[in-house]
């Protein structure tokens, strides 16, 4: 499968997940069943996107980088701590320079859903990051890279990633998106950024749940 077809199918199933009952807060949470249904839609879309990725001819420059599985996992786990530090640093910049408030409405909304339907954490911590990494770090970047410089492609993709989250914290999400790209570029494997992204989301949600219970 070519990168063009990969991009079409990957974006299609990603959007399909987003417009599922609770998908990305497009609809209000009306019950545990709706949230669980959305979680299943996220997981199903993530699996399909993963299969699409496996059937894609991966001839980009990153695939030439050979990194062992152990190093790939190591970079992914180290990336979790680095991404948390980056997120805190960018939050401070937003507060001091741009006078934005701390906290993310998007994260708070997701935490509220997880409280009602614990199964939804699978969508946020696993399926969501998998889909977003394949869409924004693999498909979109390499699609744009057919015409544009790889760095410009990564910047555009990171901006789209930030806009998608829709809560005004463009510096945070854009910076994180670009950091995930650097991890992918360093190891030559999209699975590195998936590990970091999924791990970061898990830590953030668990922290939010802990704070809300205290």
pLDDT digits (tens, 9 = 90+) for 78-94: 999 999 999 999 999 99
| Residue 110 clears pLDDT 90, i.e. is over it | no
Residue 135 to residue 142: CA distance in whole angstroms: 10
- pTM to 2 decimal places: 0.90
Choose between 178 and 119: higher pLDDT.
Answer: 178
Residue 111 to residue 29: CA distance in whole angstroms: 12
pLDDT score for 30:
52
Give 27's pLDDT tier (boundaries 50, 70, 90).
very low
| Residue 22 clears pLDDT 90, i.e. is over it | no
Token digits of residue 203 = 């830590």
Q: How many CA atoms lie within 13 A of 121 on its CB side?
A: 17
Which whole number is the average pLDDT over 116-135? 92
pLDDT score for 43:
94
């Amino acid at each position: 499968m070519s990168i063009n077809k990969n991009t079409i199918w990957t974006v299609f199933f990603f959007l399909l997940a987003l417009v599922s009952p609770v998908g990305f807060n497009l609809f209000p949470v009306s019950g545990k069943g709706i949230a669980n249904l959305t979680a299943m839609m996220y997981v199903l879309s993530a699996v399909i996107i993963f299969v699409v990725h496996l059937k894609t001819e991966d001839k980009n420059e990153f695939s030439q980088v050979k990194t062992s599985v152990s190093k790939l996992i190591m970079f992914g786990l180290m990336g979790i701590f680095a991404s948390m530090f980056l997120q805190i640093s960018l939050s401070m910049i937003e507060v001091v320079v741009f006078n934005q408030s701390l906290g993310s409405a998007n994260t708070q909304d997701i935490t509220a859903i997880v409280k009602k339907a614990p199964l939804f954490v699978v969508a946020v911590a696993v399926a969501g990051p998998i889909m977003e990494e394949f869409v924004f770090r693999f498909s979109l970047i390499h699609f744009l890279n057919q015409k544009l410089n790889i760095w410009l492609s990564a910047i555009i993709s990171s901006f789209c990633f930030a806009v998608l989250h829709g809560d005004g914290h463009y510096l945070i999400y854009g910076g994180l998106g670009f950091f995930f790209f650097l991890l992918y570029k360093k190891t030559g494997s999209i699975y590195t950024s998936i590990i970091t992204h999924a791990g970061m989301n898990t830590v953030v949600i668990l922290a939010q749940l802990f704070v809300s219970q205290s």
